[in-house]
Structure 1
Amino acid sequence: MEAASREAFGAAADRLNTYAKRAKAETLATVADELLAIAKLLAGEPRLRRALSDPARPGDDRAGLANSLLGKQLSEGTRTLFGVLVAGRWSSASALLDGTELLGVEALLASAERDGALAEVEDELFRFGQIVAGQERLAAVLGDVTADLAQRTELVSSLLSGKVSAVTLRLAELALTGFGGRGFESALTRLVELAAARRDHEIGYVTVAAELTDGDLDRLAAALRRIYGREIALKVSVDPRILGGMSVQVGSDLYDGTILRRINETRTALTRR
């Protein structure tokens, strides 16, 4: 998001956080569903997107327009939050669409947080992403935007229903629609990161050749906490192909201590002789 859009979204996110302190999880889930429904409507109605993000109109006018068109169909919480969102200054109509979808996701995560299940949702999304990444055919089917969305949604439901929380299932289904313009696997990754951010954590992606012990994980987490000055949520993938050692990625920082990297560096050095 550009600066103006970030400010507009930040105002709505702050209002959501205040609202979430007194709202029940079920109420927040309803708000999330309504915001995501609005995002879907905006995606199919470019004229409405432009009208609600028109910088030539005062923010209060845009909020009033949104309320007159959609207010009767929305809960009080959603009316308030979407009104704040629309009243902000957006850099483009598409930025408003992205902001609405993102606010819906934040409301879903707030619902899980209210239930004390946010860490669980984060972990379930990550593990599902690992399952998909490890099965080439499944990844191809779920990531095929030309395939029927209803069938792909049914497939995700059959894989996850009864095994994960309702919020995790809803977010996994949202990833199928290309959350934020991303592909399915990238959307899942972004959703994991948003869940971690809501817990004031950053994700540390760890790749090892064999499972780490709890003690190893605790020591690694403590070391990263000292480096970054905040909690790092470790997401561990086991890949025997790296042969040994580990790689850790936090944001754009990559620490690659794998045996595979050393072998590749040695091969490269030998070919240069």
Structure 2
Amino acid sequence: MRGISRASLQEVTERLGTVLESADTAALGSELFDVVALLEREHTLRRWLADPANAAESKSGLIGELLESQASPSTVMVVGDVVQARWSRQRDLIDAVERAAVFATIARAESEQRLGELEDELFRFSRVVAGDTELRAALTDESVSEERKGGIVEALLAGKADPATTALVTQVVTHPRGRTLEDGLEYYGQLVAERAQRYVALVRTAVALSEDRQERLRATLARIYGRPIHLNIDVDPSIVGGLSIRVGDEVIDGTITGRLGEVRRRLAG
């Protein structure tokens, strides 16, 4: 997000913190995800709520009428805050509600200082999906019902992952919002890391890294980026040797495959 939307996002996120202190956060997260689905479906409603020409009080009043009998006061309050803010694009408004839903869903894990576990679980699930074409097909097939997809996720993660992880994976699978499954899982992982006030580094390596080497890499990246780093490590023999590290949009490619590719590009030029 940029400009007006970025400022609005910061404001609504700060106010969300106050709501999370007293709310049933798991229920709040679920209800906010329902609002995201509602706004995705109802184009006219979304346009009206995002139109800066409409009064903020009218927007929050309409949300109150729509959600009063279907959602908790906490949900009405959070969504009311979002729709009263100014957004550069309609999508930014929905993104803000989705972001609040993720933060509410992970609030308990955050209070128990278990966000690192959630990050690991989301990443491990993405690796499982990447290595199982049949599973990926079942979770991304548009002809498969949301209930069936949710059931698959529940069967895979029940008792093996934090309930917040299961809820986030289910949301990605049943309401991808135009993202690929991999991109959705990565985005939610980034939001978890943001809540933990750190960056995520995706490290591709030909061989597994020892704990000592992981710690040294984590410390080096933390010095570079000025923030704690969470490592997601993908062992990929196809890169031959070296490391490829991605932090946000920045890529540090020290792999043999990457260097060979650069040589080929220069020769072709």
| Paired amino acid for 2:140 | G
Aligned-residue offset at 1:182: 0.8
- Pick one of 144, 154, 165 that aligns with 1:147: 144
Other-structure match for 1:183: 180
Residues 164 and 5 (structure 1 numbering): CA distance in 2 closer, same or farther, change over 3 Å? same
Matched residue count = 268
CA contact under 8 A between 1:143 and 1:185: conserved in structure 2?
no
User: For residues 48 and 95 of structure 2, what CA distance do their matches in structure 1 show?
Assistant: 15
Q: Displacement, 1:135?
A: 1.9
Structure 1 CA distance for aligned equivalents of residues 10 and 99 of structure 2: 11
Task: Report the counterpart of residue 236 of structure 1 in structure 2.
Answer: 233
Partner in structure 2 of residue 19 of structure 1:
19
Distance 1:225 1:57, change over 3 A: same
- How far, CA to CA, are the matches of 2:217 and 2:125 in structure 1? 23
Report deviation, 1:263: 4.6
Q: Distance in 2 between matches of 1:84 and 1:234?
A: 34
Is residue 47 of structure 1 aligned with residue 39 of structure 2?
Answer: no
Deviations along 1:117-153, one digit per CA (max 9) or x if unpaired, are: 2111111001100111122232233223343222222
Inter-partner Cα distance in structure 2 for 1:262 and 1:9:
40
Amino acid at match of 1:15: R
After TM superposition, give the deviation of residue 176 of structure 1 in Å.
1.1
Evaluate the alpha carbon distance shift between residue 262 and residue 73 of structure 1 in structure 2; reply closer, same or farther with a 3 A threshold: closer
Work out whether residues 37 and 175 of structure 2, in 8 Å CA contact, stay in contact via their aligned partners in 1. Answer: no
CA distance change for structure 1 residues 153 and 270 in 2, over 3 Å: closer, same or farther? same
- Return the letter of the residue paired with 2:5: S
My pick for the range that moved more, 146-155 or 170-179, is 146-155
Question: Is residue 125 of structure 1 aligned with residue 122 of structure 2?
Answer: yes
Task: Give, in whole Å, the separation in 1 of the partners of 2:189 and 2:46.
Answer: 28
Is the partner of 2:161 in helix, strand or coil?
coil
TM-fit CA distance, 1:265: 5.2
Q: Aligned runs of 1:79-228 on 2, under 5 Å?
A: 79-228=76-225
2:116 alignment partner AA: A
Distance 1:177 1:141 in 2: 11
Structure 1 residue 233, shift from structure 2 partner? 0.8
| Residue type of the alignment partner of 2:157 | L
Q: Given residue 36 of structure 1, which amino acid in structure 2 is its aligned partner?
A: F
Structure 1 regions of 5+ residues with no counterpart? Answer: none
Task: Quote the Cα distance in structure 1 between the aligned partners of 2:176 and 2:31.
Answer: 16
How far apart, in 1, do the equivalents of 2:147 and 2:208 lie? 37
**1:265–1:14 CA distance, 2 compared to 1 (3 A):** closer
Name the CA distance, whole Å, in 1 between partners of 2:226 and 2:17: 24
Say if 1:11 and 1:85, in contact at 8 Å, map to a contact too. Answer: no
Q: CA RMSD in A?
A: 2.2
TM-score, length-normalised on structure 1? 0.89
| Alignment partner, residue 4 of structure 2 | 4
Q: C-alpha distance in 2, partners of 1:10/1:99?
A: 10
Indicate whether 1:62 and 2:59 are aligned: yes
| CA deviation after TM superposition for structure 1 residue 75, in Å | 1.7
Q: Which runs of 5+ in 2 are unaligned?
A: none
Give the share of equivalent positions with the same residue, in percent.
Answer: 37
Q: Distance in 2 between matches of 1:262 and 1:92?
A: 40
Q: CA deviation at 1:90?
A: 2.6
TM-score (norm 2): 0.90
Indicate if the aligned counterparts of 1:203 and 1:233 stay in contact, CA closer than 8 A. Answer: yes
Distance 1:9 1:138, change over 3 A: same
Following superposition, the deviation at residue 216 of structure 1 comes to 0.3
Q: Aligned partners of 2:202, 2:181: CA distance in 1, in Å?
A: 18
Counterpart-to-counterpart distance in 1, 2:31 and 2:81: 15
* Distance across 2 between alignment mates of 1:233 and 1:94: 28
* Deviation at residue 61 of structure 1 after TM alignment: 1.7
